[in-house]
């Protein structure tokens, strides 16, 4: 038998040590990745809520200035639903001009849907049900909580 002097490859001990090091590094990286994903969803939620609330405020301002014609009863110049912000409302004194306040309803990053919880002025600020009169505020329909303990549907 011929002995090989230049053996190539790894011994079993070297493989076990290498895999142990990889396991330790991966176990440290997974929580950091989850934290990063959570923070990104929180950032997207803040942005979507700000976008929706700004559109509702612009609708209210336009209605208050009379740009949308006379306000409907019991709406206090707020939109009846979120679709009115996207589809647009006929401008006062114009035949074919529509005022649009959103291009599309943003997705809730936690639910992945374009459905949001709605509140009217008559609803309790912490209520999770909508009275159906008009849209005064929006909230996320998720029941998850932020790392600080606050519920995302209270943001």
Which tens digits make up the pLDDT trace of 116-154?
999 988 888 778 888 778 899 999 999 999 989 999 988
Total domains in the chain come to 1
Q: With respect to residue 29, please indicate whether it lies within any of the assigned structural domains.
A: no
> Is pLDDT at 39 greater than 90 in this prediction?
yes
How many helices (DSSP H) and strands (DSSP E) are in the chain? 2, 4
> Is pLDDT at 105 greater than 90 in this prediction?
yes
Q: What is the pLDDT of residue 126?
A: 79
Mean pLDDT across 78-102: 87
Domain span at residue 134? 37-154
Tell me how far CA of residue 62 lies from CA of 28, 55, 97, 132, 143, in angstroms: 52, 11, 14, 21, 34
Mean pLDDT across 20-46: 91
Decide: helix, strand or coil at residue 97: coil
Q: With respect to residue 42, please indicate whether it lies within any of the assigned structural domains.
A: yes
Q: With respect to residue 97, please indicate whether it lies within any of the assigned structural domains.
A: yes
Q: What is the pLDDT of residue 6?
A: 67
């Amino acid at each position: 038998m011929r002995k090989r002097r230049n053996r190539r490859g790894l011994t079993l001990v070297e493989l076990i040590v290498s895999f142990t090091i990889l396991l330790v590094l991966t176990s440290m990286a997974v929580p950091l990745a989850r934290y990063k994903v959570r923070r990104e969803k929180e950032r997207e939620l803040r942005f979507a809520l700000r976008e929706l609330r700004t559109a509702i405020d612009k609708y209210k301002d336009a209605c208050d200035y009379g740009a949308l014609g006379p306000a409907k009863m019991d709406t206090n110049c707020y939109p009846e639903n979120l679709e009115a912000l996207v589809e647009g409302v006929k401008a006062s004194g114009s035949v074919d001009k529509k005022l649009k306040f959103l291009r599309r309803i943003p997705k809730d990053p936690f639910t992945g849907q374009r459905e949001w919880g709605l509140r009217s002025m008559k609803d309790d600020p912490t209520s999770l049900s909508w009275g159906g009169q008009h849209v005064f505020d929006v909230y996320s329909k998720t029941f998850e909580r932020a790392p600080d303990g606050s519920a995302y549907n209270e943001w």
